[in-house]
Amino acid sequence: LLGPDGTIAATIFAEMSALATRTGAINLGQGFPDEDGPAEVLDAAREAISTGINQYPPGRGMPVLREAIAAHQLRFRGITVDPEREVLVTAGATEALAATILALVQAGDEVVTFEPFYDSYGAIIGLANGIHRTVPLRAPDFQPDLDDLRAAITDRTRLVIVNTPHNPTGSVFGIEVLQLIIELAHRHDAIIVTDEVYEHLVFEAKHVPIATLPGGRERTITISSGGKTFSTTGWKIGWLTAPPELVTAVLAVKQFLTYVNGAPFQPAIAVGLGLPDSFFTSAADTLRAKRDLLSSGLMDAGFTVSLPQAGYFVVADAAPLGHPDAVAFCRSLPALAGVVGVPITAFVHEDRRHEYASLVRFAYCKRTSVLEDAVARLAQLS
């Protein structure tokens, strides 16, 4: 985490957002929406502040939010969770992941993730002194190979961290992959952690929560967040659902990380989780149109594009445009075309970087006019 001179290495998202600010380029790097989410949710936060919900909430989260999370799990997943014992509210999915890994991983334990992986996984596995093993996801469909999975998950594995829908590739794992993960977790007594922050932003594919499959629930910690679904990434309201003893273990760590978080935002996210089905489907439909706009613009500009099935991001190969090194390409892209993207190598270990060297992640969770402007700028590359 520290650079050779003892300074903290900025996350790739902070570096690329700073580059966008410095150059005035369109920021398709860091994944955050540039429009507000549903008015009901924003109004509920204002209401909470003005009615005095401004002090420490309970350690597991406010009852109104834990009940809304349980109702959401029942409505969208058909599973009953106990809001008293099986739900924990966290400071974003980020803290849910950190507290889970720190609670469950002892020095030397192996943690399996897919690769490319969301950057915080590698950092927290490192803080826990765990050993990070990965299963590669390869273009064009970015689905794991079943034999690679069998080889990676062993008796040394403590956690398997699944991320579906996947950041950065936009893939949605197939049911046979999820079933095999459950089978291997049982065989090797591993715990499954699933990061499903993009659960509602799914296009053609069907998102199957691993906890809904036979044998999954009893050894799975399911993590999500209000940031993506309600376009409130700055509120940092996340949560996890899991069997009671796993929630208790994670809470033991969470209480010393943030203790509690976001009192007035908790009832507001509860309002969001209770919105009608039409809100969730229209959020996905709106985002699908943005995906199509940016993806076709990238193809027209000469990139090879793997069409994402979900989430905020599209992966584009810059090699056909004569840019084999995506890190160098992303650093020069503001000057070349006035756009910022993130090299996929930021989500990959050193020894595998060559396999992903020319791939760039672009975010399409932006206003249509901004995407149209970005597409026009990218057209200059061809």
Element (H, E) at 136: strand 131-136
Closest CB 164 distance from ligand GLN, rounded Å: 15
Q: Which is nearer to ligand PMP, 239 or 303 (CB)?
A: 239
Q: Which is nearer to ligand GLN, 95 or 109 (CB)?
A: 95
To which residue do tokens 């765990």 refer?
Answer: 130
Tell me which residue of 48, 50, 32, 31 sits closest to 40, measured CA to CA: 48
Interface with ligand GLN (CB under 6 A): 11, 13, 30-31, 167
* Segment contacting ligand PMP by CB under 6 A, of 90-98, 285-293, 333-341, 372-380: 90-98
Tell me which residue of 204, 212, 209 sits closest to 224, measured CA to CA: 209
**Footprint on residues 149-168 left by ligand PMP (CB under 6 A):** 163, 167
Work out whether 92 is an interface residue with ligand PMP (CB under 6 A).
Answer: yes
Question: Helices 39-50 & 265-273, crossing angle to 10 degrees?
Answer: 150
**53: which 2 tokens?**
């919900």
To which residue do tokens 């990238």 refer?
Answer: 298
Work out whether 170 is an interface residue with ligand PMP (CB under 6 A).
Answer: no
Closest CB 332 distance from ligand PMP, rounded Å: 26
Closest CB 9 distance from ligand GLN, rounded Å: 13
Burial class (CB in 10 A: 0-12, 13-18, 19+), 170: buried
**Residue choice 37, 238, 267, 338 for contact with ligand PMP (CB under 6 A):** 238
Q: Which is nearer to ligand GLN, 167 or 171 (CB)?
A: 167
DSSP state of 209: -
Residue 163, binding choice from ligand PMP, ligand GLN, none, Cβ under 5 to 8 Å by partner class: ligand PMP
Compute the distance between CA of residue 30 and CA of residue 313 in angstroms, rounded to an integer: 10
Work out whether 233 is an interface residue with ligand PMP (CB under 6 A).
Answer: yes
Closest CB 29 distance from ligand PMP, rounded Å: 12
Residue 30, binding choice from ligand PMP, ligand GLN, none, Cβ under 5 to 8 Å by partner class: ligand GLN
Compute the distance between CA of residue 318 and CA of residue 305 in angstroms, rounded to an integer: 9
Residue 92, binding choice from ligand PMP, ligand GLN, none, Cβ under 5 to 8 Å by partner class: ligand PMP
Compute the distance between CA of residue 310 and CA of residue 31 in angstroms, rounded to an integer: 13
Closest CB 97 distance from ligand GLN, rounded Å: 11
Q: How many residues bind ligand PMP (CB under 6 A)?
A: 14
Work out whether 272 is an interface residue with ligand PMP (CB under 6 A).
Answer: no
Closest CB 276 distance from ligand GLN, rounded Å: 27
Closest CB 365 distance from ligand PMP, rounded Å: 10
To which residue do tokens 């109702």 refer?
Answer: 71
In a 3-state reduction of DSSP, which class is residue 91?
strand
Work out whether 93 is an interface residue with ligand PMP (CB under 6 A).
Answer: yes
Q: Which is nearer to ligand GLN, 134 or 157 (CB)?
A: 134
Per the document, the length of the chain is 382
Compute the distance between CA of residue 97 and CA of residue 13 in angstroms, rounded to an integer: 18
Residue type at position 107: A
Decide: 154 and 121 in contact? Cβ < 8 Å.
Answer: no
* Segment contacting ligand PMP by CB under 6 A, of 45-53, 231-239, 264-272, 277-285: 231-239
**90: which 2 tokens?**
């966290």
Q: Is the peptide bond before 116 cis (omega within 30 degrees of 0)?
A: yes
**R_g (Cα) of the chain, nearest Å:** 20
The residues of the shown chain that bind ligand PMP, judged by CB under 6 A, are 31, 92-94, 118, 163, 167, 195, 197, 225, 227, 233, 236, 238
